[in-house]
Chain A
Amino acid sequence: MKKTIVAAALGAGALVAFAGAAPATAAPTDTAMLSVLHGVPGLTVDVYVNDELTLDDFEPGDLAGPLELPAGTYTVAITASDAADASSPAIGPIDLPLEGGVNYTAVAHLNEGGDPTATLFTNDTSQMAAGQGRLTVRHVAAAPAVDVLAGGSPVITALANPAEAKLDLAAGTVSAAVAATGTTEPVLGPADVEVAEGANTIVYAWGSLEADNLDLAVQTVAVAGMNSSPDGVPAGSAGMVATNGQDSGAPVWAAVIGASLLAAVALLAGVARRRSAARAER
Chain B
Amino acid sequence: MLRARVASGVVGAASIAALAALVLLTLVGCTVPGGEGSASGTAAAESATPSASSPARAPVPDIPRTSASLADRPALSAPAPVRLVVPDLGIDVPIESVGLDDQGRMGLPANPAIGAWYRFGSAPGDATGSTVIAAHVDSAVYDIGPFARLAGAPAGTRVEVTTADGLVHAYAFQSTAVLPKESIDWSDAFARDGSPRLTLVTCGGEFDYDARRYLSNVIVTAIPIG
Q: Which residues of A contact B (CB under 8 A)?
A: 4, 6, 8-18, 20-21, 23, 37, 46, 49-50, 52-59, 61-70, 74, 129-131, 171, 191, 193-194, 196-198, 203-204, 215-220, 222, 224, 227, 229-244, 247-250
Instruction: Output the least CB separation between A260 and chain B (Å).
Output: 20
The chain A residue with its CB closest to the CB of B218 is A235
CA distance A235 to B213 in the complex (A): 8
B57 cross-chain contacts in A, Cβ below 8 A: 53
B144 cross-chain contacts in A, Cβ below 8 A: 238, 240-241
With A17-B39, A196-B76 as known contacts, state yes or no: A218 contacts B68, CB within 8 Å: yes
B96 cross-chain contacts in A, Cβ below 8 A: none
Question: Is B168 among interface residues, defined by CB-CB distance under 8 A?
Answer: no
A248 cross-chain contacts in B, Cβ below 8 A: 206-210
Question: Is B46 among interface residues, defined by CB-CB distance under 8 A?
Answer: no
Question: Is B193 among interface residues, defined by CB-CB distance under 8 A?
Answer: yes
A66 cross-chain contacts in B, Cβ below 8 A: 15
Task: Identify 20 new A-B residue pairs, CB closer than 8 A, beyond the known A56-B49, A196-B76, A241-B144.
Answer: A9-B8, A9-B64, A53-B58, A54-B22, A67-B15, A217-B68, A227-B192, A229-B187, A231-B105, A233-B106, A234-B101, A234-B105, A235-B108, A235-B137, A236-B202, A238-B212, A240-B148, A241-B148, A242-B214, A248-B208
Question: Is B79 among interface residues, defined by CB-CB distance under 8 A?
Answer: no
With A4-B193, A54-B61 as known contacts, state yes or no: A233 contacts B209, CB within 8 Å: no
B11 contacts A230, C-beta separation under 8 Å? no
With A130-B100, A239-B212 as known contacts, state yes or no: A54 contacts B60, CB within 8 Å: yes
A52 cross-chain contacts in B, Cβ below 8 A: 21-22, 58
B36 cross-chain contacts in A, Cβ below 8 A: 13
Question: Is B224 among interface residues, defined by CB-CB distance under 8 A?
Answer: no
A37 contacts B68, C-beta separation under 8 Å? yes
CA distance A23 to B13 in the complex (A): 16
A57 contacts B209, C-beta separation under 8 Å? no
Q: Interface size class for chain B?
A: 35 or more
B9 contacts A13, C-beta separation under 8 Å? yes
Instruction: Output the least CB separation between A43 and chain B (Å).
Output: 14
B65 cross-chain contacts in A, Cβ below 8 A: 55, 58-59, 62-64
**Which of A49, A58, A236 is within 8 Å of B22, CB to CB?**
A49
CA distance A261 to B155 in the complex (A): 46
CA distance A119 to B112 in the complex (A): 53
B138 contacts A241, C-beta separation under 8 Å? yes
**Which of B51, B127, B140 is within 8 Å of A57, CB to CB?**
B51
CA distance A9 to B155 in the complex (A): 35
A232 contacts B181, C-beta separation under 8 Å? yes
CA distance A46 to B139 in the complex (A): 64
B120 contacts A241, C-beta separation under 8 Å? no
A69 contacts B19, C-beta separation under 8 Å? yes
Instruction: Output the least CB separation between B162 and chain A (Å).
Output: 22
Stretch at the interface among B81-89, B128-136, B169-177: B128-136
Contact with A along B150-171 (1 / 0, CB 8 A): 0000000000000000000000
CA distance A245 to B12 in the complex (A): 56
Contact with A along B37-77 (1 / 0, CB 8 A): 11100000000011110000110110111111110011010
B186 contacts A220, C-beta separation under 8 Å? no
CA distance A11 to B3 in the complex (A): 17
B105 contacts A13, C-beta separation under 8 Å? no
Instruction: Output the least CB separation between A9 and chain B (Å).
Output: 6
B120 contacts A198, C-beta separation under 8 Å? yes
CA distance A1 to B69 in the complex (A): 32
With A9-B64, A227-B120, A248-B206 as known contacts, state yes or no: A50 contacts B22, CB within 8 Å: yes
CA distance A203 to B73 in the complex (A): 11
**Which of B11, B49, B104, B106 is within 8 Å of A14, CB to CB?**
B11
With A18-B12, A231-B103, A248-B209 as known contacts, state yes or no: A224 contacts B68, CB within 8 Å: no
A74 contacts B22, C-beta separation under 8 Å? yes
CA distance A191 to B73 in the complex (A): 13
CA distance A2 to B22 in the complex (A): 23
CA distance A49 to B23 in the complex (A): 11
A49 cross-chain contacts in B, Cβ below 8 A: 22
B15 contacts A62, C-beta separation under 8 Å? no
B103 contacts A236, C-beta separation under 8 Å? no
22 pairs, A vs B, C-beta closer than 8 Å: A11-B8, A14-B8, A17-B12, A20-B39, A23-B23, A54-B61, A55-B63, A57-B49, A67-B22, A131-B99, A194-B73, A218-B70, A229-B189, A232-B106, A233-B201, A235-B135, A235-B217, A236-B137, A236-B207, A244-B206, A248-B207, A250-B209
